[in-house]
Chains A and B, each alone.
Chain A
């Protein structure tokens, strides 16, 4: 019974390169959330998606960041032209329904991005 799967667990990129982070939600979950955790800081909401739809992207930076959750396959968080300030742990979480019903998010183990 796999939990939320994220890959890669660690990713190193040079400034200006692209980073792609993937997230497969728990089986039966159709709601995906991406959070960013900067060193020594809390979790900051980025985006909430359902299959083929972005529901809330109010936490996403306006430029260089995008997310998708296609009908088939994992959710992808894409960061173009990375900068050192993008270095962080990116967590994906999923829920069976919107958190309004259960309040419980199941988190993956995170993808740690380091920008050189």
Chain B
């Protein structure tokens, strides 16, 4: 299975600070990169996603930055709040492979446990 490497494993940020989570991938066929947010005891939920034809996507306080040449993408949470405390997963998929019904699933990073202190 293709790998997506995520860092850091855990992150502590003060309220109002910026949380930054990084992911790197190897498969150049990946062409869709979503981020999922998971609260304790719950299932992951889609937070924001990006395609490689843009370098940045912003939704409210959440921004994805994408560097195609470096095969890296990151999630920035501006003005972090205690309610943002959760585990964040980056993921990737190749639409081309998915359309062939091969590898038709998201590959997830290992997750980052974010704690925002009040």
* A residues with CB within 8 A of B: 4, 33, 35, 41-45, 48, 55-56, 58-59, 91, 93, 98-101, 103-110
> Which residues of B are found within 8 Å of A100, using beta-carbon distances?
93, 95-99, 104
Residue of B with least CB distance to A103: B32
CA distance A106 to B102 in the complex (A): 20
Q: In chain B, residues 17-64, which have Cβ atoms closer than 8 Å to a Cβ of chain A?
A: 32, 34, 36, 41-46, 49
* Total interface residues in chain B, CB < 8 Å: 30
CA distance A45 to B46 in the complex (A): 16
Q: Establish whether residues B104 and A103, one from each chain, have CB atoms under 8 Å apart when the complex forms.
A: no
> Which residues of B are found within 8 Å of A48, using beta-carbon distances?
104-105
Q: Establish whether residues B110 and A59, one from each chain, have CB atoms under 8 Å apart when the complex forms.
A: no
Q: Kindly provide the distance from the CB of A91 to the nearest chain B CB, expressed in whole angstroms.
A: 6
Q: Establish whether residues A42 and B102, one from each chain, have CB atoms under 8 Å apart when the complex forms.
A: no
Instruction: Using known A-B contacts A4-B43, A107-B44, A109-B43, determine if residue A99 contacts B106 with beta carbons closer than 8 Å.
Output: yes
Sample 17 A-B pairs with CB under 8 A, ordered by A number.
Answer: A4-B43, A44-B108, A45-B107, A56-B101, A56-B102, A56-B105, A58-B1, A99-B105, A100-B93, A100-B99, A103-B34, A103-B93, A103-B106, A107-B36, A108-B43, A109-B41, A110-B43
